[in-house]
Structure 1
Amino acid sequence: MTEQQVRKRARGIDRAFDILDHLRDVKTSQRPAEIAQALGAPTSTVYDLIGTLIDHGMLETTDAHGSVFLGRRVYFLGLAYRDYFDLTRQAAGVLDEITASTKETSQFCMLDGNKYTVALQREGSRPFRISADVGERTAIPWTASGRLLLGHLDDQEIRDLIPAEDFILPDGRQMDIDAYIAEIRRAHEERFFSFDSIVDTFTHCFAAPVYDQSGICSATLCIVAPKDDARENYGLYKNVLQAAGDKLSKTV
């Protein structure tokens, strides 16, 4: 295989993952032409790749118009990942403990490329219930966890990782990047971060790190609570999260 053929094949693999990521983000089936338009890719290329992904069970046809969505093989690959990496199984039990002791919604969160995602969640038992879409990709700077998960990067690496548009909040305000990086440094030092949510007006978000064997924050444990409950129980929630983060870090 020539070098040009290798590069062409690599571009095709990248584009195939773009298709899978796009369908994950839109959460609905789409026709190949719609996918090609969304990705800015040649329609013929997308048709060919979709055919290959269908053949391998990574995509499935959902209607007579040729619309496709993620296939069951993606689900089975996810199960294999969960079974191999013990951290997610351990995290499920830790979330149960956090929610049992605080009655608030707890989450296990990670990076997904240059985005943040909630990997696991336990809903709280209070009358005012808060939940998030598990698996949804969110701009890292919009989250409390986004101050902890980047603590091992230098300033330029942080700027290079995060797309410029992710520093624009849902209401159109531009975030101060220098202030954001300063919050990352403080959170890394304190092993904790909390703030009033910047994407809604009624919740307060707490986050504590889960460290891997090299001392890098590879995940976070979070509590999302109504602001009044957060103020009243701030010390308790912080202590519960940090203790849970330390416990989970020891299993990595």
Structure 2
Amino acid sequence: MNKQAGSSTGDGTVGKALEVLDKVAAVGRPVRFSELLSESTHPKATLYRLLQTLVSQGMLAYDERQQTYSLGIRLVRLAHAAWRQSSIAPIARPFINALSEAVGETVHLAQLDSGQVLYVDKRNPTNAIDMFSQAGKVGPAYCTGVGKALMAFLEPADLDHVLKKQSFYRYTPATLASEAELRADLEKIREEGLSYDREEHEPGIICIAAPILSSKGRPVGALSVTTSTQRKSLEQLLEARPALLDTASKIAAAVEDWQFPA
């Protein structure tokens, strides 16, 4: 289970409730009270009270027969509203649909979220590949193509802030496992305008990625074309580079007047 940036410490009841929501969401299935209690830092009575409040507000649902908690319909509605208002996904969707069809590979759309990568949309070809990334999932920035494409074009102070949040856990032998290695790679990405995932997050999964830049050069998102080493080599995947860069430019133009959250 990933530690999320930003503790509830000092945030009172709201922070504690959000922490509980994160725990339920991270399990990925209906979860029993005993499971939550085993990993909770809250006393039993406090956890129960927080769960009851979340259920009464529609943020969680409780199944009396199974005695399990799951994400509530109100939370789902809020998530859809956030997707429409706070991500570039609705604007970018027709462009990434066209790109996936043109190159015949999986296309990811992502944004930075608290130093991590938030996948906001994904388009699969007919013969999809099983991989970690799904829309709504959060992944590491330092070892994904989209993450590195986003970081490479941050202002120096912002980059320093994001780098402090990277774990540099070595997922595969190819993972960049230090800040120095990553900074060197980011410099190359800035020069070339293209990022690579050379099996750095998942064995057998490779990608090329490009930033989606505002007119001021600020990264508002990133786009990747992803495949497996069983299907193509990285050199073969580079044939999709012109289409990828063209699509990133089209999305950037389409979202230019959109008011992005800070």
TM bin, normalised by shorter chain, reads: 0.7 to 0.9
Contact 2:115–2:162 (Cα < 8 Å) also in 1:
no
After superposition, the Cα gap between the structure-2 partners of 1:171 and 1:203, relative to the gap in structure 1 and judged at 3 Å, is closer
Name stretches of at least 5 consecutive residues in structure 2 with no aligned partner: 1-7, 256-262
Equivalent residue number for residue 146 of structure 1: 147
Q: Per-residue deviation at 1:123?
A: 0.9
1:161 aligns with one of 162, 165, 180:
165
Q: Residue by residue, what CA displacement relative to the aligned partner does 1:36-70 show, whole Å, maximum 9, x if unpaired?
A: 43242333222221111111111001344642111
Residues 62 and 174 of structure 1, relative CA distance in 2, 3 Å threshold: farther
C-alpha separation in 1, matches of 2:17 and 2:216? 32
TM-superposition CA deviations, 1:128-163 (whole Å, max 9, x none): 63553332222222211121222315353133222x
Q: AA paired with 1:241?
A: L
Q: How many aligned positions are there? A: 242
Q: Indicate the larger mover: 39-48 or 217-226.
A: 39-48
C-alpha deviation, 1:238, in angstroms: 1.4
| CA separation of 1:94 and 1:138: change in aligned 2, threshold 3 A | same
Q: Secondary structure at the match of 2:225?
A: strand
Tell me how far apart the structure 2 counterparts of residues 125 and 66 of structure 1 sit (CA, whole Å). Answer: 39
Q: Rate the CA distance shift 1:171–1:104 in 2: closer, same or farther, 3 A.
A: closer
- Helix, strand or coil: the match of 2:208? strand
Pairs within 5 Å for 1:68-87: 68-85=69-86, 87=88
Instruction: Evaluate the alpha carbon distance shift between residue 223 and residue 130 of structure 1 in structure 2; reply closer, same or farther with a 3 A threshold.
Output: farther
Q: Which runs of 5+ in 1 are unaligned?
A: 1-6
Deviations 1:99-140 (A, max 9, x none): 1110111111122323223221111234x6355333222222
Matches within 5 A, 1:1-252: 10-64=11-65, 66-85=67-86, 87-126=88-127, 129-131=129-131, 132-151=133-152, 152-154=154-156, 156-162=160-166, 166-171=167-172, 175-212=177-214, 214-227=216-229, 229-231=232-234, 233-252=236-255
Give yes or no for contact 2:107–2:224 (8 Å, CA) kept in 1: yes
In the TM superposition, residue 213 of structure 1 has moved relative to its aligned partner by 5.8
Q: Secondary structure at the match of 1:229?
A: coil
- 1:87–1:251 Cα contact (<8 Å) kept: no
Report the Cα distance in structure 2 between the residues aligned to 1:36 and 1:188, rounded to whole angstroms.
Answer: 46
TM-score, normalised to structure 1, is 0.83
CA contact (8 A) 1:195 1:204 kept: yes
